[in-house]
Copies of this chain bind each other. A is one copy, B any other.
């Protein structure tokens, strides 16, 4: 690990200044830097408990999956965000399990479960940080829930397209209708129907394996 990684970590983990030198050493000696390809699984539900990680680069997607394979995206994490649901075996009152995928090429810095367990036991500020991060995600999840349950589908799809374009800094969204449906916890037919409607209005252009936004102001108008 480079000096830069340690510096990066110390900024992401806001409890850093509360650590004694022994605890700092425990982290830096055991820290792993791991790369994932786009679409690769980082954490798989109840069978996994990799530990706490910080996103060094790329985008990470956290989602629920039903027994039938239906997915609902809960939130995304970006550079310097901390993931604690991947250490749910340590934070005992997180009684649910999520899936975590690399949405783009990713690199993470991982503090494995056994080291994390030792730290949480020793230092109240680390436990506190972990709960705090979990509560941040709680807020994200309520937002997602309100979107899914309360927002009409045209608004949701408009929000999704704008967010994707903004995140990738590209008005062409390279996702199939099937993939969009999966990310939105919806059905392909529903997505296709609405995209066709948007295309007829001149808001988007449908491409092979993607969607191009032609008129962002029309999408934004839907959200008013």
Contact = CB atoms under 8 A, between A and B. Distances in A.
Interface stretch (A19-27, A41-49, A132-140, A193-201): A132-140
Interface string A104-124: 000000000000000000001
10 contacts: A64-B145, A66-B146, A70-B150, A72-B150, A93-B135, A96-B139, A96-B143, A124-B128, A127-B128, A131-B132
Chain A: interface secondary structure?
helix
Counting chain A residues whose Cβ lies within 8 A of the other chain, the interface size class is: 20 to 34
A109 to B, nearest CB: 22
A122 to B, nearest CB: 14
A138 B144 CA distance: 13
A78 to B, nearest CB: 17
B150 A148 contact: no
A207 interface: no
Given A128-B124, A128-B127, A128-B128, A138 B134 contact: yes
A128 B93 CA distance: 13
A71 B37 CA distance: 40
